[in-house]
Structures are given as structure tokens and as C-alpha cells.
Amino acid sequence: MKKGLIIAGICIVAAAAAAVAVALLIPKKSPEPGNYQEIKKYLGREEEWYGTDEAVNIADAIVAYQLSDGGWRKDWANPTVEGSWAKSTVDNDGTTSEITVLAKVYNQTKKGKYKSACIKGIKLLLNGQYENGGWPQVFDDPGTYHAHITYNDYAMVHILRLLTDVSNRDGDFSFVSKSMAQKAKAAVEGGIICILDTQIEVRGVKTAWCQQYDENTLRPAQARAYEYPSICAAESTGIVEFLMEIPEKTPEIEAAISSAIEWLRDSRLYGIKFVSQGDDKVVVEDPNAEPIWARFYEIETNRPMFADRDGSIHYDVSEISKERRTGYAWYGSWPKNLVKD
């Protein structure tokens, strides 16, 4: 009887010890940033903030959810994510935001774990670049549209800006090695070449850029069913703004900027607004409206183009489903500061 009690007691102690061990392996979730889309809201704070307990807790969560390749997945605090979105991504500021927050927290705290995680993330960006200079939306995801070179939502522009800072070894990234800075410089140069190589030309005239390109052929490519090859006003605006930031521009870069801005000027839409009406969004006529742009323009005709989840193409936004009409940025004023007379 005593022997049985002793064995039972040993089992209880062992179980308790195992529970404690498991608990120690589970990342702390207070505060919990939630997912990659929320990390970018911690950018742009006062530098002193990144030394606060709140910032440190966020950085700890970022470190805990970093994947083995150095990046972060979509909705990285959600254990049910599978498939492409379970891999490291730069979609919607993913990975670049985490790297930047880690760098800022390291600079305030000087804790080595934040520097190590930051360096690991930068290495992913350097190692994940294609030979043609582009980057995918999701790393190590061949055979899917996520492998395409991605300008969508400014993904590649965010990478290039971050690596430019790394290459200069200033600001948030003054702690990186000279060797890493040199690799970052080469990566930025390759990315600029990719941008120049992918500017769409129509009947001998350079225009602007598509959201994504085939990673092998550099031809405009389709992503989701409603994201067809097209010339994209929003993403092209981000690319032009990045090119304008380059301190020493080659004639090729100057030409790319000029031709893209000219296309944006020619693609202005006058006399309409895209407004909410109840639970829907509609185009209304307004002769006093500021010019706006469509998100997508058909490559050969330059007509505003819209598509639905079933892959059908339309030239009137009212013809697509309400779910897509209200759930996507079909119109915007993205280039308005670039085309001021």
C-alpha cells in the first residue's frame, strides 16, 4: 500500500514538473501583438519608447515567434495557420516590420537576443533574393503565386528601404557588420536593376509596373483571381517614390522615374468619386472631384480594369460582386503628390 502511494506521488511530481517545463516553452502572450499586420503599428514611435517594458514585451513575442529561416509568418500568433501563410512572408509589412522593431529595441536595451534575431531576419532577406534582383511574397514557396516577384502592397520597396539603411550602417542598423552592409548594398543594387527590367513597355513607350512578376521570365503575372497582369497605380507610386530617394541616380533611373510619372499623369480619372453608400461602394459623378486613379489598368488599352473572385474581368466596378467591390482598394489618390503640375 505504501509502495503504491509512493509511486503515485512520484507520478504526480513528474507530471507537475513536465507541466512546468511545457509552460516555460510557451511564449509569454502579454501583451500579444496578435499577427504580422499589427507589428507595423509599433513603428514610428519616439526612440525612447523602444526601451519601455511594453516594447520589450513585444520584442520578446517577436523573438518567440521567429521561424527557423529568420522570418515571420502571416498571423504568426495563430497556431492553426497552414500552407503558404505558415511560411515567412513580407506581405503587408511582414518580416520587415519585425526586423525594424527588434533593431530599435536592441538599440535602446543592448540585449543581445534582439540583435541576434534582427541579424537572422536580415540574412533571410539577403539569402531570399532572386538572382534577377527580385523578392518573393512568401519565402520558399515555389509553384505558387507567392513565389512571384512582389511589388504588391509595397513589399519589395519595404525590403529595399530596410536594406538601404543596413547598407549605410546608420540609424536603426548602425550595429551591423561591414560585411553585412556590403551584402545589403549589393542586394539593393540588384533590386534596382530588377525594377528597371520590369517596367512595362507598351508600343515602345515605358509606363509603370505590375503588382507581381513571374520570378523566372520577369513577365507581369497573376496573383489572386482578381489580381490580373496590369499596370498598377498604387504600387507604381511606391516604386517611383523609392527611386526618387536614391541619392545618385543613373540616367536609366531618371528615365524610369520620368516615364512612370508621365504615365500616372495620363492615367488620371476626372469627375468621379468612389464613395460608400450604406454597406456598398459606388462610383458617383462629381465635376468638382479631385482626380483619382484606378488600382489596375489594362496593359494594352490603359482602361481601368476590375475583376471578381471568379476570375471574371470587368471595366465597370459596379459589375463585380459587392464583397469584392467593398473589400478592395479599386480607386485611390496614391500618386497625387507625384503628378502635381
Q: What confidence score (pLDDT) does residue 341 get?
A: 59
Q: How confident is the model at residue 76 (pLDDT cuts 50, 70, 90)?
A: confident
Q: What confidence score (pLDDT) does residue 2 get?
A: 42
Q: How far is CA 300 from the centre of its chain?
A: 28
Where does the chain have alpha helices with state H? 2-25, 36-39, 53-64, 96-109, 112-127, 155-168, 178-198, 233-245, 251-266, 322-326
* Average pLDDT value for residue range 318-338: 97
Q: Are 89 and 97 in contact (CB under 8 A)?
A: no
168 is catalytic: no
Q: What confidence score (pLDDT) does residue 8 get?
A: 42
Q: Give the model confidence (pLDDT) of 148-200 as tens digits.
A: 999 999 999 999 999 999 999 989 999 999 999 999 999 999 999 999 999 99
CA atoms 135, 265, 328, 99: torsion sign? positive
Greatest Cα pair distance, the chain, in angstroms, is: 94
State how far the alpha carbon of 95 is from the alpha carbons of 11, 108, 121, 173, 301, in Å. Answer: 43, 20, 7, 15, 37
* Average pLDDT value for residue range 94-113: 97
Residue with cell 553585412: 180
Angle at 101 between CA 95 and CA 104, to 5 degrees: 140
CATH class of this structure's domain 27-180: mainly alpha
132 is catalytic: no
Q: What confidence score (pLDDT) does residue 33 get?
A: 56
State the Cα–Cα distance between residues 72 and 33, nearest whole angstrom: 13
Q: Which of 15-19, 118-122, 279-283 has the lowest mean pLDDT?
A: 15-19
CATH class of this structure's domain 199-341: mainly alpha
Residues of the chain above pLDDT 70, percent: 89
CA atoms 57, 59, 61, 63: torsion sign? negative
pLDDT above 90 (res 26): no
Q: What confidence score (pLDDT) does residue 77 get?
A: 74
Q: Give the model confidence (pLDDT) of 190-240 as tens digits.
A: 999 999 999 999 999 999 999 999 999 999 999 999 999 999 999 999 999
Annotated catalytic residue within 35, 73, 92, 161? 92
Annotated catalytic residue within 169, 224, 265, 324? 224
State the Cα–Cα distance between residues 159 and 113, nearest whole angstrom: 22
C-alpha cell at 169: 550602417
pLDDT above 80 (res 32): no
State the Cα–Cα distance between residues 206 and 197, nearest whole angstrom: 11
Q: How confident is the model at residue 113 (pLDDT cuts 50, 70, 90)?
A: very high
Residues of the chain with CATH 1.50.10.20: 27-180, 199-341
Identify the residue with better confidence: 103 or 77: 103
pTM: 0.89
Q: How confident is the model at residue 37 (pLDDT cuts 50, 70, 90)?
A: low
Give the containing element (helix H, strand E) for 295: none
State the Cα–Cα distance between residues 138 and 85, nearest whole angstrom: 8
Give the chain's mean pLDDT: 91
Q: Give the model confidence (pLDDT) of 2-14 as tens digits.
A: 444 444 444 443 4
CA atoms 149, 155, 160, 166: torsion sign? negative
Angle at 172 between CA 119 and CA 162, to 5 degrees: 70
DSSP symbol at 153: G
pLDDT above 70 (res 35): no
C-alpha cell at 68: 527557423
State how far the alpha carbon of 319 is from the alpha carbons of 147, 162, 332, in Å. Answer: 30, 40, 19
* Average pLDDT value for residue range 53-70: 95
Residue 61 phi/psi, 5° resolution?
A: -65, -40
